[in-house]
A and B are shown apart, each in its own frame.
Chain A
Amino acid sequence: MRVMIISEVIQDDGFDGAAKMKERLQRRNQTRIEDAERRKEEKESRSVAEEKDEYFSKMFGEQRAAIEELLSGCSGADRAAVSQKLEEATAKTAQLQKFLNDSVLFLTQYELRQSQAALQKLQASLAEAREKALPKKKFAFRARSKAADKVSAPEPAPPAAGSGEVDSAAAAEQSGFSNMDNEFLTKTSEEIQKRDVLLTHLTNCKVRLFGSPSTLHLKHIHGCEVLCGPVSSSVFVDHCSNSTLGFPCQQLRTHNTTDTQVYLHVTSRAIIEDCQGVSFAPFSWSYPNLDQDFSVSGLSRERNNWNQVDDFNWLAAGTPSPNWTVIPEADRKTSWDP
Chain B
Amino acid sequence: MGLLTILKKMKQKEREMRLLMLGLDNAGKTTILKKFNGEDVSTISPTLGFNIQTLEHRGFKLNIWDVGGQKSLRSYWRNYFESTDGLVWVVDSADRLRMEDCRQELSALLLEERLAGATLLVFANKQDLPGALSQEAIREALALEQIKSHHWCIISCSAVTGENLLSGVDWLLDDIAARIFTAD
Contact = CB atoms under 8 A, between A and B. Distances in A.
Is the pairing of A and B real? yes
Interface of A: 90, 94, 97, 101, 104, 112-113, 116, 120, 123-124, 127, 139, 141, 144-145, 147-152, 154-155, 157, 161-162, 165-166, 168-170, 172-175, 194-196, 198, 200, 214-215, 217, 219, 233-234, 236, 238, 250-251, 253, 255, 267-269, 271, 273-274, 298, 310, 312-313
Given A255-B71, A310-B46, A147 B161 contact: yes
Interface stretch (B82-90, B107-115, B126-134): B126-134
Interface residues of B, number: 50
Interface in B24-65: 25-26, 35-46, 48-55
B53 to A, nearest CB: 7
B122 to A, nearest CB: 15
27 contacts: A104-B52, A116-B54, A127-B40, A141-B40, A141-B41, A141-B42, A144-B162, A148-B41, A149-B38, A151-B35, A151-B36, A151-B38, A157-B163, A157-B164, A165-B132, A166-B136, A172-B131, A198-B131, A200-B97, A251-B44, A251-B46, A253-B25, A253-B26, A253-B46, A274-B71, A310-B46, A310-B48
Given A251-B44, A312-B73, A154 B166 contact: yes
B137 to A, nearest CB: 9
A119 to B, nearest CB: 10
A195 B73 contact: no
Interface in B128-151: 128-136
* Top 9 A-B residue pairs of the complex, sorted by shortest distance between their CB atoms: A174-B131, A269-B45, A151-B162, A166-B134, A268-B45, A196-B131, A196-B129, A271-B46, A172-B130
A151 B166 contact: yes
B70 A271 contact: yes
Given A148-B38, A151-B36, 4 more contacts: A149-B38, A251-B45, A253-B70, A312-B73
Nearest to A213: B129
A97 B34 CA distance: 13
B121 interface: no
B72 A313 contact: yes
B100 interface: no
B163 to A, nearest CB: 7
A248 to B, nearest CB: 13
Contacts of A173: 131
B97 A155 contact: no
Contacts of A101: 49-52
Contacts of B52: 101, 104, 116
B156 interface: yes
A310 B46 CA distance: 9
Nearest to B164: A157
Given A155-B166, A196-B131, A217 B41 contact: no
Q: Which of A198, A217, A274 has the most CB of B within 10 A?
A: A217
Interface of B: 25-26, 35-46, 48-55, 70-73, 94-97, 126-136, 156, 160-167
Q: Which of B52, B55, B94, B165 has the most CB of A within 10 A?
A: B94
A106 to B, nearest CB: 15
Q: Which of A104, A127, A157 has the most CB of B within 10 A?
A: A157
B38 A174 contact: no
A56 to B, nearest CB: 16
A139 B50 CA distance: 27
Given A147-B161, A151-B165, A217-B95, A169 B46 contact: no
B114 to A, nearest CB: 19
Contact of A162 (B46, B128, B156): B156
Contacts of B94: 174, 196, 215, 217
B59 to A, nearest CB: 13
Contact of B70 (A104, A234, A312): A312
B135 A166 contact: yes
Given A253-B25, A274-B71, A144 B130 contact: no
Given A165-B127, A170-B134, A253-B25, A312 B72 contact: yes
A139 B43 CA distance: 12
B63 to A, nearest CB: 10
B130 A195 contact: yes
Contacts of B163: 157, 161
Contacts of B50: 101
